[in-house]
Structure 1
Amino acid sequence: MNDHTPDARPGGHPGGQDRAEPGDELLAAFFEEHRGRLHAVAYRMLGSAAEADDAVQESWLRVSRAGTDGVENPGGWLTTIVSRVCLNMLRSRTQRREDPLDIRLPEPVIAKPEGENPEYQAVLADSVGLAMLIVLETLSPAERLAFVLHDLFAMPFEEIAPIVDRTPAATRQLASRARRRVQGTPVPDADITRQRKVVDAFRAAARDGDFEGLIAVLDPEVVVRSDTGGPGPVQVSRGVEQVARNAITYSRLAASVRPALVNGMAGFVSLGADGSPYSVLAFTIHEGRIVEIDALGGDRLRSLDLAVLDD
């Protein structure tokens, strides 16, 4: 994924306070070599591209102060540093949250639906389905870290244990508890073209008020989550009939839509009459039917990079 701001690179802070000196060029190059993996770890840990950028930048500041003398496993060392930063951020987030159920939808990565180019590939490298990210949001910080590092990045428990200040056996249990939660997450169909056909059929049926057409593409137990960034919990709708009726109602608010990849999966951005985005819809499609829809609107759109969809 591309960084959101130009100062997210090593030494890029305004004023030059953290700028690498010429003698540090090798250190900066060393960090850049691993930046993609670090951002991927941070995004899965935090569920926010902007916060992942912050975590990677903070990791660079720590690396630039510590240097690499005596480091035998550079990749593992850097992963440990960014993981400690993310763990601190998750703990701080948990302490600020007044209601343990007040969980926002993760911040998705938006990309054009076409274009096999390096930028597109970078987005896919950093993407993970929103369905899994939503489950990860319900885990404790230590459970999330243990699961992400071990199950998604194959880091041994012996290396994870010092980060969460537990024994390897206890760390294994953290990952096991997290895994049981994640195992109920629907596995999305992998074929993007087939995903797009289902999403397009949903969009056309909603636009035309075709209730039966919507029933045909929605799973009987479909779940819709809507997050506008306002006070209160995320709004949840369940069941095929209610979701179909709501889809027909809300489709009338959209003057047009822009197809998009949302975390590497087929979705779209709805535009108002003035051409400005008012919602992003992400779909989880399993065995040819929509099982989950995650909608972001209102204040939640402010942090998303929707300019990537512009021609």
Structure 2
Amino acid sequence: MDIAAIDRFEASRGRLASLAYRLLGSAADAEDAVQDAFLRWQAADRDRVEVPEAWLTKVVTNLCLDRLRSAQARHERAAGDWLPEPLLEGDPMLGPADTFEQRESVSLAVLTLMERLSPVERAAYVLREAFAYPHAEIAGILDISESASQQHVHRARRRIAAERRRGDEVDPASARRIVEEFLAAAVSGRTDRLVALLTDDVTAVSDGAGLARRLLRYTTRERVASFVRAGFKPTPAKRRMAGGTPALHVVFANGSPAVVAVLDDQVVGAVVFEVSDGRIASLRGIGAADRIARLNAAWPLHEPDAPAIDAW
């Protein structure tokens, strides 16, 4: 392959990766899809490709659809074993973030809700909301009619809006203060304060620090507060399991405040929060190594503030 063809692909790599991540919710799977697209670009008769960016977008989208439709992916996701992979603020794979819709489309809350869409609905929604493709181009990418594209996007918006807590965007500084207060209450075991910081319809999901076979789910303020208190309050047994006393940092991941536990420059777990009207509406606890791999790789390059708790 000539240098110009490689350069043309590399110029699109970031956009293709952010598209694939939104479609798959996994950085590793997104990277695989982009690499597969590169192999197809290598093998293509490029002289017959009129618009390389459009050709590559179609290839990556359809590679992602193949993954979403695979028997293994359907089984894992339907069985409740799946959580989106969090990415640190500034990760290029998060892609465009100029509009509210673009930022919303990469939040863990919306990535999770998109699991309930059909693969084609998900693709149409992402192409429209995150990348502002016109319906005529979406139709060409997905090999459907323009009216079908409009219907898929409309249906996806309606289904997500029906379950999405959607208010005004939260000021990052305010969201950070709420999470820091929540963390202090959790570590000290102040259950009453934890309950007061949760919305009435709060939910919590956890992979059990990567040890649970199925995702753990909690509802009601009291049950979520009890779960958080049990998980965050330090004990000698937990420190032995972690391999030491990690520092707890408050950062932003996928546009939301998060607590990241770091030990010897290695991320050992993360909790991503959704803040609404001054309280916490949801928590997602992620500790499985494959779900925090990219976050872990990015951490040494990150310049976090001082830890909220320097020795948990």
TM-score w.r.t. length of structure 1: 0.79
Structure 1 residue ranges without an equivalent (≥5): 1-19, 112-119
Q: Is the 8 A contact 2:18 2:92 kept in 1?
A: no
Q: 1:257 aligns with which of 237, 248, 251?
A: 248
Between the aligned partners of 2:176 and 2:288, the Cα distance in structure 1 is 25
Structure 2 residue ranges without an equivalent (≥5): 97-102, 239-244, 304-312
In structure 2, the partner of 1:125 is 95
Between the aligned partners of 1:207 and 1:309, the Cα distance in structure 2 is 23
Asked whether 1:191 is paired with 2:171, we answer yes
Between the aligned partners of 1:100 and 1:263, the Cα distance in structure 2 is 23
Asked whether 1:55 is paired with 2:33, we answer yes
Residue 125 of structure 1 aligns with an amino acid whose one-letter code is G
Q: Is the 8 A contact 1:124 1:264 kept in 2?
A: no
Asked whether 1:245 is paired with 2:226, we answer yes
> How far is 1:121 from its partner?
6.1
Query: What whole-Å deviation, never above 9, does each CA across 1:19-55 have from its counterpart, x for those lacking one?
Result: x4xxx11111111111111111100001011111111
Between the aligned partners of 2:93 and 2:55, the Cα distance in structure 1 is 24
Query: What whole-Å deviation, never above 9, does each CA across 1:113-159 have from its counterpart, x for those lacking one?
Result: xxxxxxx3636537711000001122221111111112221223333
Between the aligned partners of 2:17 and 2:207, the Cα distance in structure 1 is 25
CA-atom RMSD in angstroms: 2.7
Between the aligned partners of 1:169 and 1:78, the Cα distance in structure 2 is 23
Between the aligned partners of 2:32 and 2:141, the Cα distance in structure 1 is 19
Asked whether 1:236 is paired with 2:227, we answer no
> How far is 1:88 from its partner?
1.1
> How far is 1:190 from its partner?
4.0
Stretch of structure 1 that moved more, 251-260 or 203-212 = 251-260
Residue 270 of structure 1 aligns with an amino acid whose one-letter code is A
In structure 2, the partner of 1:219 is 199
Residue 168 of structure 1 aligns with an amino acid whose one-letter code is E
Query: What whole-Å deviation, never above 9, does each CA across 1:276-311 have from its counterpart, x for those lacking one?
Result: 654210011122211110011245556343143347
In structure 2, the partner of 1:201 is 181
The percentage of counterpart residues that share the same residue type is 35
In structure 2, the partner of 1:3 is none
In structure 2, the partner of 1:36 is 14
Between the aligned partners of 1:135 and 1:213, the Cα distance in structure 2 is 29
> How far is 1:191 from its partner?
2.5
Partner-residue secondary structure (3-state), 1:291:
strand
Q: Is the 8 A contact 1:136 1:144 kept in 2?
A: yes
Change in CA separation of 1:98 and 1:196 when aligned onto 2, cut-off 3 Å: closer
TM-score w.r.t. length of structure 2: 0.79
